[in-house]
């Protein structure tokens, strides 16, 4: 694990200061917020999955080690406490260096740090007279939920001694996730680097693909390009789907042979400093689209281009989705997939037979990044600094007897990463081939 944060310590301090300010605004009286690390996940037997930090904890601290707990308090002169694994020479021989309490303060800016084994002793003191506890119940670690429940129970049991548990519990996501929605300059730098590596991976696959290869051959190319450029690898497990596999939205077997005449759908994004790109491209295995494939592809591209062109402050993700649905529904009628009047088909959600998912989601530290999509029950207006995807698709199952035979087994998705700017938008992934002409050129053998 890195012994120093990816960004300057001042970046994280500024974030914590803003979180503390908003905690004071929301709380009546003193408040405390607790952010535990992601638990280590077992792959099988005594083998663990590679560890990846919890995005909220990382955003606040830059700290990536497991078992950590960050505590923010509006009381006293030490607002940031970090609980970390102790230095352990023997264990560090096996699993790598640890920051320890000294590193937590020196490198990560903690006002005070304790070994995580002292959490149950120190946390009641830190909670102190807090009237509001910011903690996400039902988060990523059920065992930590149990730990918090025991803490609150113990505090309530001491009520006669004048010790009180915080009477109010709030989700810190109300604050942290709202702040994560609007990307800072350093975050955008990381996203651009992730996009650059992602571009290399997708281009390598387009250039290398041949009928007779396997999906896993292209998966391997992605991994190489993402790693060679200094990335952490992928930000989510890649989808490499040939032929009818592309009609399975989250296909990830990535093991079938690629046949002549098939389309190949790749949904893959590199991760850089824990920020991930999210890009999907679909291209012909043979290097040239057939007439039917081209018609389907152009329909999806038209939907994507229309949505991207409309992206600007004040627009909503819901509004973009509605634009995509209308264009796709009109195209489905022309292709013979649907019959009827377009407005009525949309009202009946008829398009969902061939376009089942939403058009956009937030993007950042998580591929489906944090942040609400509505405010007071209404679609949230886009604002400068937000990053989201545009990813319309068309998925026609190979056994769909209602579809024209020549369309069956075609799966297409085109996904780009969009930054909202003051005056409109920037397509961060526009340099990854999108048009029929550019895709075929990239596939030139």
Catalytic residue list:
46, 250, 267, 278, 357, 361, 368, 391, 395, 413, 415
- Report the distance separating Cα 216 and Cα 363, nearest Å: 26
Angle between helices 215-228 and 185-208 (to 10 degrees): 140
Pairing label, strands 416-420, 279-284: unpaired
- Report the distance separating Cα 8 and Cα 55, nearest Å: 17
Distance set, CA 338 to CA 224, 322, 328, 331, 333 (Å): 42, 18, 11, 9, 5
CB 312 within 8 Å of CB 426: no
What lies within 8 Å, CB to CB, of 142 at 6+ separation is none
Both tokens assigned to 397: 């199952």
What is the spatial order of strands in the sheet that 425-427 belongs to?
A: 387-390, 416-420, 425-427
At 28, give phi and psi (nearest 5°): -100, 100
What lies within 8 Å, CB to CB, of 275 at 6+ separation is 187, 190, 191, 194, 235, 364, 365
- Helix residue ranges per DSSP H, 1-77: 9-26, 55-61
What lies within 8 Å, CB to CB, of 28 at 6+ separation is 131, 132, 168
- Report the distance separating Cα 197 and Cα 385, nearest Å: 22
Give residue for tokens 């759908």.
265
C-alpha 86: how far from its chain's center? 31
Question: In the beta sheet, which residues pair with residue 133?
Answer: 32, 169
Give residue for tokens 């893959």.
268
Both tokens assigned to 278: 């999210």
What lies within 8 Å, CB to CB, of 189 at 6+ separation is none
Residues in the chain: 445
Q: Helix, strand, coil: what percent of the chain each, to 5? A: 40, 20, 40
Pairing label, strands 416-420, 425-427: antiparallel
CB 265 within 8 Å of CB 241: yes
User: CA angle at residue 180 from 432 to 99, to 5 degrees?
Assistant: 100
């Amino acid at each position: 694990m890195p012994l120093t944060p990816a960004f300057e310590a001042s970046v994280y301090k500024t974030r914590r200061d803003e979180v503390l300010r908003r905690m004071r605004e929301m709380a009546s009286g003193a408040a405390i917020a607790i952010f535990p690390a992601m638990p280590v996940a077992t792959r099988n037997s005594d083998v663990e999955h590679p560890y990846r930090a919890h995005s909220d904890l990382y955003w606040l601290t830059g700290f990536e080690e497991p078992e950590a707990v960050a505590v923010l308090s509006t009381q006293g002169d030490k607002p940031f406490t970090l609980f970390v694994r102790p230095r352990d020479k023997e264990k560090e021989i096996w699993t790598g260096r640890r920051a320890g309490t000294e590193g937590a303060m020196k490198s990560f800016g903690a006002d005070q740090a304790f070994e995580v084994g002292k959490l149950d002793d120190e946390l009641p003191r830190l909670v102190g007279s807090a009237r509001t506890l910011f903690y996400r119940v039902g988060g990523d670690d059920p065992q930590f939920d149990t730990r918090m429940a025991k803490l609150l129970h113990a505090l309530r049991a001491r009520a006669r001694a004048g010790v009180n548990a915080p009477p109010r519990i709030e989700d810190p996501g109300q604050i942290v996730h709202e702040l994560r929605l609007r990307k800072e300059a350093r975050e955008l730098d990381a996203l651009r680097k992730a996009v650059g590596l992602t571009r290399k991976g997708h281009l390598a696959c387009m250039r290398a693909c041949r009928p007779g290869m396997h999906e896993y051959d292209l998966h391997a190319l992605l991994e190489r390009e993402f790693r060679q450029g200094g990335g952490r690898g992928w930000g989510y497990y890649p989808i490499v789907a040939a032929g009818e596999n592309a009609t399975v939205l989250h296909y990830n077997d990535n093991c079938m042979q690629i046949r002549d005449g098939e389309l190949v759908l790749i949904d893959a994004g590199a991760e850089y400093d824990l920020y991930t790109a999210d890009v999907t491209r679909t291209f012909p295995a043979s290097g040239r689209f057939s007439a039917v494939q081209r018609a389907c592809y152009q329909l999806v591209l038209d939907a994507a281009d229309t949505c991207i062109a409309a992206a600007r402050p004040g627009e909503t993700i819901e509004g973009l989705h509605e634009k995509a649905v209308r264009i796709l529904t009109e195209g489905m009628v022309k292709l013979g997939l649907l019959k009827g009047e377009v407005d009525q088909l949309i009202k009946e959600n008829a398009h969902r037979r061939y376009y089942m998912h939403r058009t956009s989601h937030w993007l950042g530290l998580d591929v489906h990044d944090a942040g609400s999509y509505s405010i007071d029950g209404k679609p949230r207006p886009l604002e400068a600094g937000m990053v989201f995807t545009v990813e319309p698709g068309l998925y026609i199952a190979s056994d769909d007897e209602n579809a024209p035979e020549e369309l069956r087994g075609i799966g297409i998705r085109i996904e780009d990463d969009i930054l909202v700017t003051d005056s409109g938008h920037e397509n961060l992934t526009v340099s990854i081939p999108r048009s029929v002409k550019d895709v075929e050129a990239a596939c030139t053998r």
